[in-house]
């Protein structure tokens, strides 16, 4: 399945400034791992030492939080958008 | 010879039915089956009217009554100051097809002479009417809403990028009391976005500078300054008297403290944060929707959060996000619309796009989850200060 992954501003330094990257994957985890293969360093920012999404990051498939679906195993379909949203603190 | 006024009135009175004030009062006391219509002018209504009456001045009667009273079989009692205007009104209503219309004989004059009660509505006084006239015209705000805003108290945590536009608009809107929390002084590098502060304020506390600007915007507004850094021991006292908190601090520590105290004290929070070209906003309503900690269980650690002084921020960005927060605050105060609760709004200035995500309560949330016991705590020092 081809999906678009939206890269948040704080992580764009790792994607050469790109805000959106297309990957082929069947689950959210696969999509994020493939992204890391292309842009090294991303996985480390997203996953903790147990391979879970870090607590200061939320990952959404379209408008749904993967925490409310099957977490990293959430299946994705062609045309879905995965969004990575880290907490930010500027005010 | 054409009839004079007295002839005309006598003719009208022969055509219509009248009702005595005592009878109207008895009817109002029981299960009410009639509509009571006050056809006097606004200033007369404001000086005192019968409780439960609908207000429709004689001049607009024919134009507007069918919208106000849609069932023409429902009995209607009309009153005015002395029973003359209401007699003419009753005749018009009959001609419009209302089948059971009576005019209250003697009007408010006789009602008062019998010692019967009137209610005096709270009103926006005349010298303030002009300032808020565009609010008064909106049915969802109107006089009642504007009076609510006058009585409301909003606390802005952070008088910086987000707090600036929010405070300016909330003051302009006539929110009665605004609190500003900030322990910083105005720095030249703030002025690119913190529009509450002007060049002449460089070096002065942001709370003082903010109060000065807000007074120029709207002298009706009472501004309370809290020139301090929120911590576990002062946050409850600072929050206590406010209705809504606008969370626009520049560090995670304060964001979590604001969240935890707001849940503890049951105060809704209009939340916003910004980074370079991107902003996030949501509204956290304790126990009815997710809180900030449900959304982000932990803060981005310093080693992964780029220093904001290095990262920078587009000057106009906090304007967009701060205005969303101010809009949410106004809606919460007025009780109108759909709050941004359970939704995270993400704005990308470069794409000029808004995206919305569903967020839910976390049953294991340390702050508002099933087994939560809130202990206000001061975390490590701020790790990301855009100032």
Q: What is the pLDDT of residues B281-300, one digit of tens each?
A: 999 999 999 999 999 999 98
Contact between B72 and B92 (Cβ < 8 Å): no
Asked if A19 has any chain B CB less than 8 Å from its own CB, the reply is yes
Per the listing, tokens 């001061």 go with: B378
The answer, yes or no, to whether residue B381 has pLDDT greater than 60, is no
- Is residue B308 part of the annotated active site? The answer reads yes
Q: Residue B309: which pLDDT band, with cuts at 50, 70 and 90?
A: low
Q: Which of B349, B367, B347, B366 is nearest to B357 (CA)?
A: B347
Over residues B106-121, mean pLDDT: 95
Look up the ipTM and state it: 0.95
Over residues B272-280, mean pLDDT: 95
pTM of the full predicted structure?
A: 0.81
- Nearest chain A alpha carbon to B386: A90
Give the bridge partners for B247, in sequence order: B157, B271
The answer, yes or no, to whether residue B307 has pLDDT greater than 80, is no
**What whole-number distance in Å separates Cα of residue B261 and Cα of residue B377?**
10
Q: Which of B52, B49, B56 is nearest to B118 (CA)?
A: B49
What integer best gives the mean pLDDT of chain B? Answer: 94
Per-residue pLDDT at B310: 67
Dihedral angle of Cα B169, B173, B179, B184, to the nearest 10 degrees: 20
Helix/strand number for chain B, H first, E second: 16, 13
Contact between A52 and B238 (Cβ < 8 Å): no
Q: Inter-chain contact A56–B350, Cβ cutoff 8 Å?
A: no
The answer, yes or no, to whether residue B387 has pLDDT greater than 50, is no
**What whole-number distance in Å separates Cα of residue B135 and Cα of residue B100?**
37
Over residues B346-371, mean pLDDT: 96
Per-residue pLDDT at B30: 83
Chain B residues 58-117 with a CB less than 8 Å from chain A: none
Contact between B18 and B102 (Cβ < 8 Å): yes
Asked if B358 has any chain A CB less than 8 Å from its own CB, the reply is yes
Give the bridge partners for B346, in sequence order: B280, B355
Over residues B366-381, mean pLDDT: 85
B28-54 burial, b for 16+ CB within 10 Å, e for fewer? Answer: beeeeebbbbbbbeeebbbeebbeebe
Per the listing, tokens 């606390």 go with: B155
Contacts of B386 in chain A (CB under 8 A): 90-91
């Amino acid at each position: 399945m081809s999906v678009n992954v939206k890269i948040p501003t704080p992580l764009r330094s790792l994607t050469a400034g790109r805000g959106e990257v297309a990957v082929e994957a069947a689950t959210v985890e696969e999509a994020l791992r493939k992204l890391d293969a292309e842009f090294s360093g991303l996985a480390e920012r997203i996953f903790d030492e147990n391979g879970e999404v870090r607590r200061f990051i939320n990952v959404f498939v379209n408008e749904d939080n993967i925490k409310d679906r099957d977490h990293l195993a959430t299946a994705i379909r062609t045309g879905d958008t995965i969004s990575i949203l880290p907490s930010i603190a500027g005010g | 010879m054409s009839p004079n006024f007295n002839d005309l009135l006598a003719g009208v009175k022969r055509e219509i039915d009248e009702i005595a004030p005592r009878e109207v009062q008895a009817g109002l006391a029981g299960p009410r089956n009639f509509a009571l219509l006050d056809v006097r002018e606004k200033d007369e209504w404001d000086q005192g009217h019968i409780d439960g009456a609908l207000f429709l001045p004689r001049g607009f009667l024919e134009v507007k009554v069918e919208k106000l009273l849609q069932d023409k079989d429902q009995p209607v009692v009309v009153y005015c100051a002395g029973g003359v205007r209401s007699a003419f009104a009753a005749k018009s209503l009959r001609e419009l097809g209302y089948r059971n219309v009576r005019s209250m004989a003697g009007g408010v004059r006789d009602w008062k002479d019998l010692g019967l009660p009137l209610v005096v509505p709270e009103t926006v006084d005349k010298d303030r009417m002009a300032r808020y006239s565009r609010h008064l015209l909106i049915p969802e705000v109107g006089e009642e809403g504007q009076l609510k805003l006058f009585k409301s108290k909003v606390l802005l945590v952070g008088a910086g990028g987000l707090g600036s536009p929010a405070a300016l608009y909330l003051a302009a809107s006539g929110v009665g009391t605004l609190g500003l929390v900030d322990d910083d002084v105005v720095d030249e590098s703030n002025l690119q976005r913190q529009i509450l502060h002007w060049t002449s304020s460089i070096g002065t506390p942001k709370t003082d500078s903010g109060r000065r600007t807000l007074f120029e915007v709207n002298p009706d507004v009472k501004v309370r300054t809290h020139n301090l850094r929120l911590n576990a021991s002062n946050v409850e006292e600072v929050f206590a008297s406010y209705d809504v908190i606008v969370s626009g601090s520049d560090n995670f520590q304060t964001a979590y403290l604001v969240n935890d105290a707001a849940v503890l004290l049951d105060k809704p929070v209009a939340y916003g944060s910004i980074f370079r070209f991107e902003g996030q906003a949501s509204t956290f309503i304790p126990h009815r929707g997710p809180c900030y900690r449900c959304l982000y269980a932990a803060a981005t650690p310093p080693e992964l959060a780029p220093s904001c002084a290095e990262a920078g921020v587009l000057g106009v960005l906090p304007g967009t996000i701060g205005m969303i927060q101010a809009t949410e605050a106004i809606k919460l105060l007025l009780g109108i619309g759909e709050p941004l609760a359970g939704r995270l709004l993400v704005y990308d200035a470069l794409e000029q796009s808004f995206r919305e995500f569903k967020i839910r309560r976390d049953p294991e949330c340390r702050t508002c989850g099933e087994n939560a016991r809130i202990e206000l705590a001061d975390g490590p020092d701020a790790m990301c200060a855009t100032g």
